[in-house]
Amino acid sequence: MSLELTPRDLALLWTTWQNRLMAPRQYLRRFWPDATQQAASIRLSALKSEGLLRRTLIPWNVDRHIYTISAAGNRALVEAGLLGPSQARDFPPRPQELTNALMHDLGVVDLRIALELTGANGATWVSDHQLRQARRWRLGNTRVADGMFEFEAHGREGRGVLEFERQSYRRPKMTQVLARLRFDHGNDTIFFVARSEERARRVWAWAAEAWTWGDRPERFLVAPLEAVLKDGLDAGFVDLRGEVLGPLKGSQAVKTLL
């Protein structure tokens, strides 16, 4: 390898492996917050030229270029001790077209970055891919949350779980989602991100009516997508008691979401 990898390079490769795909703007926000887009592009191009990343063009997507990790990138992570030898071949196929799944996954990456910048511990992040691997041999529903992480924000701390609803669930499916989250993460704090304020209000009402989280309403919080993308854990997540996690207080939070 002609390119000497820096700690940031390894962190970038590791995050790409976890997320399965990333867009250039996401790398810029996460790894070059104080640099120019040109600086990020030069390093990404170098990693691609070295064969550590693969780049795919999707003309109809807002993010025209999508990066995924390569076999060589995985080997670099194995050599650095970030992946086990058995994971050397664990890299995704290149995305071929714009799909709902691709849009959802890019949205999860955006949400992860926003959360990490506002109180989520990025070093503890467990991606949906890792969660899926961990329950590979379990019977029954293999659906997993979109991420898990340790957090500390606004007087609360613990293990958080991200659930992103990009496409609205019907009420029967929402009931199943709530039950699955309670079964898998009943002692964690759920951060449910809905696609809009209107949808966030409906999800909050359904969750409040259901008894799934009735004995621990402080552990299920809801906020709309736009607010979370902008402010992360400061977006004014509202729990099922009507209390807010963030700068908004009391009735202000209720007026905002409920």
Same domain, 120 and 71: no
Same domain, 138 and 86: no
- Cα gap 188→185, rounded to integer Å: 5
Question: pLDDT tens digits, the chain, 258 residues: what are they?
Answer: 688 999 999 999 999 999 999 999 999 999 998 888 888 899 999 999 999 999 999 988 788 899 999 999 999 999 999 999 999 999 999 898 889 999 999 999 999 999 999 999 999 999 999 999 887 655 555 789 999 999 999 999 999 999 999 999 999 999 999 999 999 999 999 999 999 999 999 999 999 998 899 999 999 999 999 999 999 999 999 999 999 998 765 444 544 565
Burial letters 187-218, b for 16+ CB under 10 A, else e: ebbbbbbbbeeebbbbbbebbbebebbeeeee
Q: pTM here? A: 0.93
Q: Is residue 195 one of the residues assigned to a domain?
A: yes
Same domain, 152 and 72: no
Quote the DSSP letter at residue 247.
Answer: S
The CB density around residue 182, as the number of other CB atoms within 10 Å, is 20
pLDDT of amino acid 257: 61
pLDDT of amino acid 136: 66
188 close to 148: Cβ distance less than 8 angstroms:
yes
Q: Is residue 56 one of the residues assigned to a domain?
A: yes
pLDDT of amino acid 60: 80
Tally of domains in the chain: 2
pLDDT of amino acid 137: 58
Q: Identify the domain containing residue 235 by its residue range.
A: 103-257
CA neighbor of 194 nearest in space, from 216, 218, 231, 162: 162
Same domain, 46 and 85: yes
pLDDT of amino acid 224: 97
Any idea how long the chain is?
258
Containing 123, the helix (H) or strand (E) segment is: strand 120-127
How far, rounded to the nearest angstrom, does the alpha carbon of residue 57 sit from its chain's CA centroid? 23
- Cα gap 108→26, rounded to integer Å: 11
